[in-house]
Structure 1
Amino acid sequence: MRDFLPADKARRERVLSVIRERYRAHGFDEIETPVVEEYERLHAGIGGDNEKLSFAILRRGLDADAIRAAADDPAALSDLGLRYDLTVPLARFYASNRGQLPGVFRSVQIAPVWRAERPQKGRYRQFVQCDIDIIGDASGRAEAELLVASLDAVDALGLEGATVRINDRRLLDWMLGHLGFTTEERPQVLITIDKLDKIGPEGVAAELRERGVTATAVAAFEEFLRRPQTLEYHPYGERQIRKALPEGVPDELIAHLTGIGEAVAAARPVVAEHVEIPLVFDPFLVRGMGYYTGTIFELAHPSVGYSLGGGGRYDGMIGRFLKQDVPAVGFSLGFERLVDLVSADPDTEAQAIVLVHDADVPVGELVAHKAELVARGARVRLEQRTKNLKALLERAAADGYTHFASVRAGSDELEVKTLG
């Protein structure tokens, strides 16, 4: 968990304001949920490995004997916990407030979450998630809206060139069945396939053999990974998708992914009479969460080798609370990673001015000068002049101030100068 100095906090708020504004422009409405959820809900089997990282809250009123008696049963010790993501709270929120929401609900949730991560670079125990979700729409239109809005937000942050890797859990399941893996084996096979980028085809095949899954299926999968490939480039679409998969793929799954691409392309600008669809079909994209039921995606940018966000369709989750099926799909931007990539240039829409004043300037004059500049739309800080004026101005610049002016007793007009 981290502290943020003023300049860092201001930078984070600038990024958040851009994301909020773009998502609002695309018709998503912001909600807020409590940081605490019931322990049983957080451990209902819908949060994957994140459930193991949740912070539990000790039940109130337990005496020492009660704590000793329940020492081996976390559920008996805790009835609440800090949320580890925003999807579980959203599912509970929708189930609780469905009667007051539109039939198709487009939500934005931007808030901190907590996970008991092992401290290391890039892993935080408290971090911000930026989620958009569409509940109540089972068509590919929902996926297209999420992707268009998220790509728009990333573009607005100055990170042009982002792409989205896309796949479908139903395609993965079909492919594993086609290759000969049994239904019971598929969850552990997916865990191994998810490591393909890290350990390569040989490593995947070796780990599958170690797991003791169907040998003929492993051999078929290995042969598929090593099949001859042409270097011919195909943009996102039916041809690219079919080329990346075994023969016999169900047409309706191909049509679903192709339709999403066509919808995203319709929203992208035309450059030199050509629209580059920022989607890449990846037949081995898995996404670790077990609740995904259909389309899955991850956001990539050429400047980094890791994902900047992702999501997918989770049609089965909300039904656990409502006892009826409700289609849902979501996308989460990796805010902490995005902040590190976005330019640190201060907001240029308004001046940020430091008024450096002598010690004998009357307070009334100081606040009058400050109020006049604030009324013009400037951001203003008062600083008493020190012997080391250079250090004072350098600190102000580090805090995001762009201009300064000297104030002496009786000054009528201020000369505002640029810092640096």
Structure 2
Amino acid sequence: MQKPSIPKGTRDFGPAQVARRQHIFNVIRRTFESFGYAPLETPTLENLSVLTGKYGDEGDQLLFKVLNSGDFAKDVTAADLETGSKALLPKVAEKGLRYDLTVPFARYVAMNRGTLTFPFKRYQMQPVWRADRPQRGRYREFYQCDADVVGTDSLLCEAEIVLMMAQVLNGLGLDDFTIKINHRAILDDIHQAVGGVVGQEGSLYVAIDKLDKIGRDGVTQELLARGFSKSAIDRLFELLSVKGTYLEKIHALSEHIRLSIGTDYTGYTDLREVYDILQASGFKQFDRLEFDPTLARGLSYYTGCIFEVKINNVQMGSVSGGGRYDNLTGSFGLPGVSGVGFSFGVDRLYDCLEALDLFTSTAETPTRCLLTHFDAASGRAALPLLAELRAAGIPSELYPDASKLQKQFKYADAKGIPLVIIMGPEEAAAGVVKIKIMQTGVERVLPVGEVVAALTVE
């Protein structure tokens, strides 16, 4: 018999884990809706023509491709096999699993442009798939919770992203975090300042984005391999090493760039305006906001402000990220519609909360009351009360078998059911029940007709 297993990078979630994940989803959902975002869902499968070319070369390699149904190899020739995967892929796979939620959202906006009210704000909470190497905090199947707005250039949207990030993290009890922000125009200025050749921008961004993973030496070796000179790399790290507060670092870097190439200061003025909007909005956690010129975000569709969130007291990658994309819907035939958004990785948030022991005790079941019984007659007598409890919105269940009371208590304790209602022959004859609080062992007696009202008040 074959031992059952699941694919690497995927996981099962038991009842207690799902309850904890639902807590994260609920905090995020409440936050998104409080800022006026409406829910949306898109299909698991997208046409590969929608997905490819949106995430850069490295992202395209991580797409899960889905073989065509039926005889998927019927059009494949010997010449295709000799040519390699680029010739073979279009003939065997037309669809893929979604890599993120932003590109499908842009596709949705383009397809439904005539029915949407702009600016259009949506949130989306669904799984995505990436053919990455599984490791702690990095999975092949994981949930993202996105919030995006399209149809406006206003930097109010960027400021509200910061506010939503902070509100979610505070709501989850994560108080030691850093919200990092940068701007693609600033990265363009840095590329020019180090003497980068036109067309090399993507190589620079990808290398800088790995700085916290492979360090200065690793980035240096990668840039040397991509054709950057040693002097250009030294100048790069000089620009990236500016110190100070959010505003001080922006000023210092803009001065460095001005002396090197001159600039229109688009990126710097945008980041200052975001700061001003946050200040006017009553934002109190500027010590958690950092201008980080090393932040590059690897996805190629970003064009303006970019964001990332780190939980500082856990060894974990970013738990959230995003940015502005001015050209994404244009690739689907809807040019001139700017958008900005961000995403929370639920799985990484879960791992952080677990590492910091921030989850409260979570039961394996939403059941609040377990009704016990001793025989078929007492079980039947408990059914009307069970129906009343459920009708009143109190999750309840009746133990299915006539077993010893100790076994039924053990069941309630194992599942984390807080209350046990005992209705034995004596209680039934007197028209009362015994309610036992499992955590303390305290018992009280109530008339059957008063149980629902008493538990509803509690």
Compute the TM-score of the two structures, normalised by the length of structure 2.
Answer: 0.80
Say whether residues 1:27 and 2:27 are aligned partners.
no
* Separation of aligned partners in 2, 1:258 and 1:17: 32
Question: How many residues matched?
Answer: 405
Partner of 2:304: 294
The equivalent position to 2:432 in structure 1, one of 407, 413, 418, is 413
Distance 1:6 1:371, change over 3 A: same
Q: Which amino acid aligns with 1:29?
A: A
* 2:71 counterpart of 1:62: yes
The answer to whether the 8 A contact 1:358-1:408 is kept is yes
* Equivalent AA in structure 1 for residue 320 of structure 2: G
2:415 counterpart residue number: 396
Counterpart in 1 of 2:229?
A: 214
Find the aligned partners of 1:61 and 1:122 in 2 and give their Cα distance: 36
1:379 — aligned with what?
395
Is the 2:367–2:397 contact (alpha carbons within 8 Å) kept by the matching residues of 1?
A: no
Q: In 1, distance between residues paired with 2:220 and 2:19? A: 48
Give the 3 Å change call, closer, same or farther, for CA 127–198 of structure 1 in structure 2.
closer
Please name the residue that 1:103 is paired with. Answer: 118
Aligned letter for 1:291?
Y
SS in 1 for 2:94: strand
Change (3 A) 1:64 1:308: closer
Q: Which moved more, 1:298-307 or 1:287-296?
A: 298-307
User: Which of 90, 110, 118 is residue 75 of structure 1 equivalent to?
Assistant: 90
Q: Report the Cα offset of residue 255 of structure 1.
A: 1.6
- Match of residue 331 from structure 2: 320
Instruction: For 1:405 and 1:42, locate their aligned partners in 2 and report how far apart those are by CA, in whole Å.
Output: 55
Q: Give the C-alpha shift of residue 221 in structure 1.
A: 2.6
Q: Look up the equivalent residue of 2:231 and give its one-letter code.
A: T
Is the 1:268–1:277 contact (alpha carbons within 8 Å) kept by the matching residues of 2?
A: no
TM-score, normalised via structure 1 length: 0.87
- In the TM superposition, residue 68 of structure 1 has moved relative to its aligned partner by 5.8
Deviation at 1:93, TM superposition (A): 0.2
Amino acid at match of 2:344: L
- Structure 1 residue aligned with 2:21, among 12, 35, 50? 12
On the 8 A contact 2:372/2:420 being kept in 1, the answer is yes
Unaligned runs of 5+ in 2: 1-9, 440-458
Determine the C-alpha separation between the residues in 2 that align with 1:195 and 1:62: 41
Bigger CA drift: 364-373 or 164-173? Answer: 364-373
Alignment check: 8 A CA contact 2:409 2:420 kept: no
1:15-48 Cα deviation digits (max 9, x unpaired): 2122112211110011111111112212234465
* Rounded Cα–Cα distance in structure 2 between residues aligned with 1:244 and 1:96: 41
Q: What are the equivalent positions in structure 2 for 1:18-417 lying under 5 Å apart?
A: 18-46=27-55, 48-62=57-71, 65-67=74-76, 72=85, 73-224=88-239, 234=245, 236-237=246-247, 239-244=248-253, 246-248=256-258, 250-268=264-282, 276=286, 278-305=288-315, 306-340=317-351, 341=353, 343-346=359-362, 352-383=368-399, 384=401, 385-386=403-404, 388=407, 391-397=410-416, 401-409=417-425, 411=428, 412-417=431-436
Cα pair 1:301 1:307 within 8 Å, conserved:
yes
1:290 and 1:269 mapped to 2: Cα distance?
Answer: 30
The percent identity for this pair of structures is 34
Structure 1's unaligned 5+ residue stretches are none
Q: Which amino acid aligns with 1:418?
A: I
Q: Give, as a single letter, the amino acid of the residue that structure 2 aligns with 1:406.
A: I
Change (3 A) 1:211 1:57: closer
What one-letter code is carried by the residue in structure 1 that aligns with 2:437?
A: T
Distance 2:319 2:360 in 1: 18
Please identify, of 26-35 and 387-396, the stretch whose mean Cα deviation from structure 2 is larger: 387-396
The corresponding residue for 2:4 is: none
Which segment is superposed worse, 141-150 or 196-205?
Answer: 196-205
